[in-house]
Amino acid sequence: MTDSFSVAGKEFNSRLIVGTGKYKDFEETKLAVEASGAEIVTVAVRRVNIASPGEPMLVDYLDPKKYTFLPNTAGCFTGDDAVRTLRLAREAGGWDLVKLEVLGDQKTLYPNMPETVEAAKTLIKEGFQVMVYCADDPIQAKVLEDIGCCAIMPLGAPIGSGLGIQNPVGIRIIVEQANVPVLVDAGVGTASEAAQAMELGCDAVLMNTAIAEAKDPIRMARAMNHAVQAGRDAYLSGRMPKKLYADPSSPLAGLI
């Protein structure tokens, strides 16, 4: 039974996208990504350290031919910086599929939505396929879809907070109205919360810190892999209705 996830015309079997930051070293990054089963990994674009050439690079551990690299704009606080970063990313990697995030505040890392919308318009005009980090606001999510973003990625909670999904109603409304994939991006802290995102009907989940800052990141990566699959299956199965009172599981007929 195949249940693939399609974004920007590409099919993926895994519904878990993982970040590659905050790991102890590249070896741990590689093992955690493998255990997660992810086929898409997010990466950041940064200056090369001219002073120490020959340092190991991420691409030496994660093969861009094996994984789809999704360059992000983490750390960008203006739309112009984000666009500039992704133009460089496209030249470095040769991919049009990108993750746009324009941050509005250092403390919360909440997205600046007006800047995000403007940057998305520019990028789409230039031929980028934009997966967009956004607020859990159905109105803004619709705006982003209407201008042509290929995936809508509302935050579950602040980036790196591990608080879990704070606004499940908002996420569910975004899922119901969207005609493009919806991913919970940021805020998931543990496996049950990843499953919850999938049970809300999200197409996939994107996370970094929940895996990288677990005591055993590789085992947590495996847990997230299972949780996303379990949540997806639960969603597709259609859960039983909630009832106020008990309903015995064993038949009453034939009681001694």
Partner 1 sequence: MINVTINGDPHSLDQELCLVDLLEKFDIEHDKVAIEHNLEIVPKTTFANVMVGDGDNLEIVHFIGGG
Nearer to partner 1, 138 or 161 (CB): 161
Which of 2, 9, 50, 240 is close enough to bind partner 1 by CB under 8 A? 50
Interaction of residue 65 with partner 1, rule CB under 8 A: no
CA distance 164 to 168: 10
CB of 253 to partner 1, least distance (A): 56
Amino acid symbol at 107: K
Name residues contacting partner 1, limited to 108-167 (CB under 8 A): 159-160
Alpha helices in 104-216 (DSSP H): 113-125, 138-146, 168-177, 191-199, 209-212
Q: Which stretch binds partner 1 (CB under 8 A): 51-59, 134-142, 197-205, 238-246?
A: 51-59
Nearer to partner 1, 93 or 138 (CB): 93
CA distance 184 to 177: 15
| Phi, psi at 168, each rounded to 5° | -60, -30
Interaction of residue 31 with partner 1, rule CB under 8 A: no
CB of 26 to partner 1, least distance (A): 8
CB of 219 to partner 1, least distance (A): 19
Name residues contacting partner 1, limited to 204-243 (CB under 8 A): 207-209
Q: Which of 99, 125, 215, 243 is catalytic?
A: 99
Q: Which of 75, 41, 79 is nearest to 212 (CA)?
A: 41
CB of 252 to partner 1, least distance (A): 53
CA distance 140 to 69: 26
Taking CA atoms, 238 is separated from 24, 220, 229, 230, 233, in Å, by 40, 27, 14, 12, 9
CA distance 160 to 193: 14
66 is catalytic: no
Amino acid symbol at 22: K
Give the residues lining the site for partner 1 (CB under 8 A).
Answer: 19-23, 26, 29, 42-48, 50, 53-54, 57-59, 69, 71-72, 74, 84, 87-93, 159-160, 186, 207-209
Give catalytic residues, as residue numbers: 99
